[in-house]
Amino acid sequence: MSTSTTTALEPDSARAGYDRDRAVRVAVLGVGMMGQDHARRLATLTAGAELVAVSDVDAARTDAVAAEFGVRAIHDPKAAILDPEVDAIVIATPGFTHEDLVLVALEAGKPVLCEKPLTTSPETSRRIVEAEAALGRPLVQVGFMRRFDAGYQQLRGLVESGEYGRTLFLHCAHRNATTPPNFSSEMLVLDSVVHEVDIARYLTGEEIVAIRVIAPRSTSAAPEGLRDPQFVIMETESGILVDVEIFVNTTFGYEVRTELVAEKGQARIGLPEGMVTQSGQGWGGSIPKDFKERFGAAYDVEFQRWIDAVRSGANVDGPGVWDGYAAAAVCAAGVESLRTGERVEIDLGVKP
């Protein structure tokens, strides 16, 4: 939990067991809402981590966040990656910057936790897959935090147990109260459904081979021109059907529910939890207001396990670059389907 060394961790050194003598020194790139949350997490919650620097294209914001946490402000993100006192990097910058930053980190041999999407196109994600493969060892984890949510882990445990036979359907609902300005119809797929894409792969252990996106009539609450909600139907290799209601202007709360239907049973997660009240309003409870409330604990676990993996030399303990690439490929096909109305097939090519 403590360290006085000032040289970067040697990620390929053989390590026996848990190294208690050094903390992992982390730089967070991008300190918007998400990056700030991660900086706070690393500074106050993650055992074995030490937040040492933050970096953002907005220099004033960089300085302010650095001051808040008492760490260095490094205005050039690539300089932050290469800094000798930085052992590992969290990337929380906008998606279009990911490719460059991840490639720099790969070249520097430093572990990365990259927020989703890995990159914004299948082609660029594929390049990262190839670059890491050339390196010969995993360095990049992708921030699909749902895999660290207790509910999804229970669902996967159930699938793996084989108790209910083969999976037949996944029915998913993914709902947000509102969208930020400039949220486009494609972003419902690229930004939101991408989580269901990863979860469908995680739960079924299969690749997705086809996708169809249907845009029914939009809600009055959607900004002019936004196709919201949408309905997505995916097929996996063995023929499991995955449907997703994606609805991002529900006007209230945040809700992610998944129901798995198998041959001999079903299971649901994401149902309302917590205190149940009764009053003149009826009985019931509250709905998480945003993804931080719903998945905050999953992020905490994700970060702790990632830091543990970095300390152990494994570097990755969760979804990797292939998962990031597959998600990008499925979502790109989804955007095509949204435009054409047709079912679109997906071919990932050979995994290196």
Give residues 191-230 in contact with a copy of itself (rule: CB under 8 A).
214, 216-217, 219-221, 229
Distance in Å, CB of 53 to a copy of itself, minimum:
13
Residue 274 found at the interface with a copy of itself (CB under 8 A): yes
In the bound state with a copy of itself, the residue whose beta carbon lies nearer, of 43 and 91, is 43
CA–CA gap between residue 144 and residue 164 (Å, rounded): 26
CA–CA separation, 174 and 288 (whole Å):
12
Mark residues 35-54: x for contact with a copy of itself by CB under 8 A, - for none.
--------xxxxxxxxx---
Please state, as a whole number, how many other Cβ atoms lie within 10 Å of the Cβ of residue 269.
17
Write out the DSSP string of 211-254. Answer: EEEE--SPPTTS-TT---SEEEEEEETT--EEEEEEES--SS--
Part of the chain binding a copy of itself (CB under 8 A), chosen from 74-82, 136-144, 240-248, 330-338: 240-248
Q: Does 166 bind a copy of itself (CB under 8 A)?
A: yes
Contacts of 123 (CB under 8 A, 6+ apart): none
**Minimum distance of a copy of itself from residue 42's CB (angstroms):** 9
Cα gap 161→203, rounded to integer Å: 12
Residue closer to a copy of itself (CB basis): 101 or 213: 213
Q: Does 150 bind a copy of itself (CB under 8 A)?
A: yes
Peptide bond connecting 352 to the previous residue in cis, omega within 30 degrees of 0: no
Q: Which residue in 92, 107, 99, 119 sits closest to 33, CA to CA? A: 92
Give the Cα separation of 306 and 309 in Å (integer). Answer: 5
Question: For residue 112, which of 37, 28, 198 has the smallest C-alpha distance?
Answer: 28
One residue of 12, 18, 292, 349 binding a copy of itself per CB under 8 A: 18
Considering only 209, 269, 314, 348, the residue that binds a copy of itself (CB under 8 A) is 269
Q: Which of 6, 181, 283, 350 binds a copy of itself (CB under 8 A)?
A: 283
Binder to a copy of itself among 79, 168, 314, 348 (CB under 8 A)?
168
Rule CB under 8 A: say whether 161 interacts with a copy of itself. Answer: no
Phi/psi of residue 250, nearest 5 degrees: -80, -10
Minimum Å gap between C-beta 167 and a copy of itself is 10
Q: Which amino acid is present at 204?
A: T
Of these, 245, 312, 313, 314, which contacts a copy of itself (CB under 8 A)?
245
User: Which is closer to a copy of itself, CB of 110 or CB of 174?
Assistant: 174
- 53-72 mask for a copy of itself (x: CB under 8 A)? -----------------x--
Q: Is 282 among the residues that bind a copy of itself (CB under 8 A)?
A: yes
> Nearer Cβ to a copy of itself, position 231 or 313?
231
Would you count residue 348 as binding a copy of itself (CB under 8 A)?
Answer: no
- Which residues, listed in sequence order, are joined to residue 269 by a DSSP beta bridge? 258
Q: Kindly state the tokens that stand for 14.
A: 């053989």
Q: Tokens for 148?
A: 């660290």
Whether the CB-CB separation of 147 and 202 falls below 8 Å is answered with yes
Min dist CB 23 to a copy of itself, Å, is: 5
Q: Which two tokens stand for residue 315?
A: 């570097």
For position 173 contacting a copy of itself by CB under 8 A, the verdict is yes
Choose between 135 and 297: whose C-beta lies nearer to a copy of itself: 297
**Rule CB under 8 A: which of 300-339 touch a copy of itself?**
304, 308
Size of the residue set binding a copy of itself (CB under 8 A): 83
Minimum distance between the CB of residue 346 and a copy of itself, rounded to whole angstroms?
Answer: 17
- At its nearest, how many Å lie between a copy of itself and the CB of residue 189? 16
Neighbouring CB atoms inside 10 A of 96's CB total 12
Closest listed residue to residue 220, CA positions, set 193, 251, 189:
251
DSSP class of 81:
H
Single-letter amino acid code for the residue at 269: I
Task: Say which residue the tokens 């509102």 belong to.
Answer: 178
